[in-house]
Amino acid sequence: MKYSSVLALFFVVGGFCNVLRAKDPKVKLEPIYTNLAIERPVALLIPADGTNRRFLVEQTGKIKILPADETSSDSKLFIDFNDRMVVDKAFEEGLLGLAFHPQYKENGKFYVYYSKQGPKRTVLSEFKVSDSDPDKADPESERILMEIQQPDWNHNSGNLLFDPKDGHLFITVGDGGRRNGVFMLAPNKTRWNGKVLRIDVDSRSEGRGYGIPADNPFVDEKATCPEIWAYGLRNPWGCAIDPETNLFYLADVGQELWEEVNIIKKGGNYGWEYMEGTQPFAPRDKLMEALGQTNKMPKGENLIDPIHQYDHSVTGGMSITGGYVYRGKALPDLVGCFIYGDWRFGNMWALRHDPKSGSTENYVIHTPPSVADPVAQPTGYYPDENGEPIVLGWRGKMFRMVAE
């Protein structure tokens, strides 16, 4: 996108007020770890244990500890899930999420989200590090917390993160798969699919291997899953809580036309499958007609619009990948921005959101020379030990994001 005016211009697209600047901040993607063999990386985390070790999650089943030297060819295998993970369709199933307990330094606990079959499900488990080797997990320490039924192989989601305020664990779950929301699970509060869940891993509620936080929004509703924090989501991929503002950013993958960025709020309904972005989701009318039902919103539902959306075009994309709010030093123009991109075309942006006014500024920070062969098909954006962004690429590549 080119901007010819030196003045900021305002325009409205899809119901959003965006600021077009004379020159958006730009970044370069510098390849790192080019001497390592990496398969479909989906997460990169650094536990708060003072070691600054980088743990890389590969969807194909391994968690590796990367070397501090980004030119090295050596990595350490932390744990391999191929002895227990079972995949039907490799594209969206597999090892999908990792989170370290806030007291990992003291208790050595971490949490993973992976696929199983017969019946098809995703498993949330707790593990512990080995007592004899801090670079090895104890594979026999698994404690299964949740098993989530999955109607199909796609839209399993799997992002895990701990709330920096209270230490509760958030789990993102997709709507169960296929197209058009055919399983109709996202708005259904009797199921975990299409939700953000919130649990207490340090306590136990009756009949569960975890605790239900007393302030979860639906704990007093009958016939409702008390784990639900927010609902009406299609396939969340890429979320983070900004520790400075406590805003919970979440990217939700769309279907026909729109990809969206949301601010997740307690008890919020984000509209799927009634809405895609800020627009009514047209295929739902035909689906409900085929089922002999009316496409009416349940009474009392107040849908929350995304703070930003982009369309399915060459300058946009077709599958959003979320990241985190940048608070580093090397890219001063991006401080306070949510970094995200598109998996299909490799376009990347930085979104600045003002929660008081509700306004957003969306900057184009990287456009690939060829959308047919993007520099990176991003699967995640994660901060290194200094808060600087590392981009994970679907095709087994990793990049450092630096100023252009």
The structure tokens listed for 94 are: 């597999």
Task: Flag whether pLDDT at 401 surpasses 50.
Answer: yes
| pLDDT at 8 (0 to 100) | 36
Taken as a whole, the chain contains a residue count of: 404
| pLDDT at 9 (0 to 100) | 35
* pLDDT tier at 10, thresholds 50, 70, 90: very low
| pLDDT at 22 (0 to 100) | 53
- Residue 26, CB-side half-sphere exposure with 13 Å CA sphere: 9
pLDDT digits (tens, 9 = 90+) for 244-299: 999 999 999 999 899 999 999 999 999 999 999 999 998 887 777 777 777 777 77
pLDDT digits (tens, 9 = 90+) for 179-191: 988 899 999 999 9
| pLDDT at 1 (0 to 100) | 33
Residues 82, 66: Cα–Cα separation, whole Å: 19
pLDDT digits (tens, 9 = 90+) for 12-34: 333 344 444 557 999 999 999 99
pLDDT digits (tens, 9 = 90+) for 189-241: 999 999 999 999 999 999 999 999 999 999 999 999 999 999 999 999 999 99
